[in-house]
Amino acid sequence: MNYLVPLSVFNSVMWVIYDHFTKLILNDLNYDKLYIIRSICLSIFVFAAVIFYYDINKITNTVLKLENHTKVYIILTVIIGIVSILIHLWLFQNNKTSNVISTMGGIYIICSLVIGYYFFGEKLQPRQYQGALIILFGAYLVNSSKKHR
């Protein structure tokens, strides 16, 4: 059985719930403070997982054996992730949750098509171009109202 669609639906529902809770939290906290608090909580969880579940020596050896370009990719994804999360939280703090989710979701699809095509040599089918245009139009419709908050 192909689990792509059911797990994608489940994951999307989880992220929508996560984003709505984020919006509620941002009523009481600034986005940068929320980022710090979440990072601390995540660090505690990861640290506990490493201590109780993983062998720290194996993890250290794995990291040391990585190729340099892989280490650079890891560092870049961490930096990109931090910037992305801060922007994500700022958008939620300053816009309606439904507008942010629908706009970012659509733009994410289009960016993945463009980046996949130009940087990773992925071939695009005519339906993908058509879908991208429909997504752009949908993002425009969702955000065309004057009231975004």
Q: Residue 86: its pLDDT value, please?
A: 92
pLDDT band at 91 (very low <50, low <70, confident <90, very high): very high
Mean pLDDT of 79-90: 92
Give the residue among 136, 132, 138 at the shortest CA–CA distance from 116: 132
Residue 70 has pLDDT above 90, yes or no: yes
Residue range 108-125: average pLDDT?
Answer: 90
pTM as predicted? 0.74
38 closest CA partner among 77, 100, 82, 91: 82
pLDDT of 148 higher than 70:
no
Q: How far is residue 86's CA from residue 8's CA, in Å, rounded to a whole number?
A: 24
Q: Which residue has the higher pLDDT, 83 or 7?
A: 83
Q: Name the average pLDDT for the chain.
A: 87
pLDDT recorded at residue 139: 81
Alpha-carbon radius of gyration of the chain? 19
Instruction: Report the run of H or E that residue 4 belongs to, with start and end.
Output: helix 4-25
Place of tokens 């709505």: 20
- Tell me what pLDDT residue 146 has: 55
- At 147 the pLDDT is 56
Query: Residue 131 in contact with residue 106, Cβ under 8 Å?
Result: no
Angle of CA points 109, 110, 111, to nearest 5°:
95
Q: How far is Cα of residue 78 from the mean position of the Cα atoms in its chain?
A: 12
Whole-number pLDDT of residue 16: 86
What's the pLDDT at 138? Answer: 85
